[in-house]
Amino acid sequence: MKKAFTLVELLIVIGIIGILSGILITSFGGGTESARNAKCLTNMRNLAAACHTYGMSSGYYPPAGSFEKFGIDESSGIHHAKRIYSERKGWISWNSRSAYASSPRSHVASLAWFTSCYNQDYDVREYALTNGVLWKYLSGNREVYVCPSHKLACSQQHQPLWSYVMNQYFYWDKSKGSKAQGESTLGIKYAGITRADRRLLFAEIPFTDTIAQPSPDTDTAAGTRNDCTLQYSTSDGSEYIGFNHKSGKRLKFAHVVFADGHVEKISLPKGGLSQGQARELTEWLCTGKDITFSGGRYQKLQD
């Protein structure tokens, strides 16, 4: 006759199973987070590589955001000539499909140019993505544009179509975007950029509860719905990079990629950052300043 388990033995076995389950769950969770981080870093490298391919092909970096330009239509005679508006495409486009089809009106002035990665009209934001100048250099791969952690942070009804923002330095300025622009220049020359190893190229939209973002930010671009451009210096409020990734229980960090193509992890100080400090740090990164980190705070080195 076999001896039955005693209550103590049964409790010991249950306890051991519980401990092993906890270890497995923790390990699996960490691995998943690591996988998301790795995918985000790969996305940023791919975006930087696409920018370089575009730059070598055109001689210029892609614009950080679309802007409006105009020409003169003299088909009706010189006395009846009219302005015809068109879009100079950014790495992600602003306009919806056919918005600038021989249009005699300014879409900038009518506020019809904005596109958000959270826009409820999927067709509008999908066109903004596919109409961007980097789309063909990324072989039409939508996954390159979205951080997996960003998807996780958002509800299924509010999924983003892109997670990244391009430094405003790369030929886009909100003050110029507020009105129609003639094409005065083609942008930032690919071979002429200074501090490529320190000048930020792409960062992430803030989409977690770091700093002052209690929920996914559906309007990250300083009062507009354009969240593809990182506006580090604007009259109505500068933006900041998103510290969206976790390392350990409390430490968070941001993924950034610089103009020379290398990626870095920017750690959030233990004491956190105020909005002002986050914007200051973002401006330093965007303008190519040398920065040190003591473990408690960031500091810009003197020129």
Question: How would DSSP label each residue in the chain?
Answer: -PPPPPHHHHHHHHHHHHHHHHHHHHHHHHHHHHHHHHHHHHHHHHHHHHHHHHHHHHSBPPPSS-EEEEEEE-TT-GGG-EEEEEEE--SS--SPTTTTSSBSS-TTTTT-----TT-S-HHHHHHHHHTSTTTGGGTT-GGGG--HHHHHHS-GGG--S--EEEETTTT--HHHHTS-B------SBTT--S-TTTSEEEEEPP-SSSTT-SS--S--BTTBS--SEE-SS-TT--------EEETTTEEEEEEEETTS-EEEEEPPTT---HHHHHHHHHHHHHT--EEE-SS-EEEPP-
What mean pLDDT value characterizes the chain?
76
The pLDDT-based confidence of 27 (bands split at 50, 70, 90) is: very low
pLDDT of residue 201: 96
- Do the beta carbons of residue 266 and residue 229 sit within 8 Å? no
- Of the given ranges (80-89, 107-116, 238-247), which has the lowest mean pLDDT? 107-116
In a domain, 43, yes or no: yes
Predicted confidence (pLDDT) at residue 180 exceeds the cutoff of 90: no
pLDDT of residue 19: 52
Contacts of 239 (CB under 8 A, 6+ apart): 165, 220, 221, 222, 230, 231, 232, 279, 282
In a domain, 2, yes or no: no
Predicted confidence (pLDDT) at residue 224 exceeds the cutoff of 50: no
In a domain, 19, yes or no: yes
Alpha-carbon torsion angle 241, 141, 34, 298, nearest 10: -20
The pLDDT-based confidence of 46 (bands split at 50, 70, 90) is: very high
The pLDDT-based confidence of 176 (bands split at 50, 70, 90) is: very low
- Do the beta carbons of residue 281 and residue 273 sit within 8 Å? yes
For 150, the domain range is 7-300
Find the mean pLDDT for residues 16-39.
63
The count of domains in the chain is 1
- pLDDT greater at residue 136 or residue 113: 136
In a domain, 196, yes or no: yes
Predicted confidence (pLDDT) at residue 285 exceeds the cutoff of 80: yes
pTM for this model (two decimals): 0.80
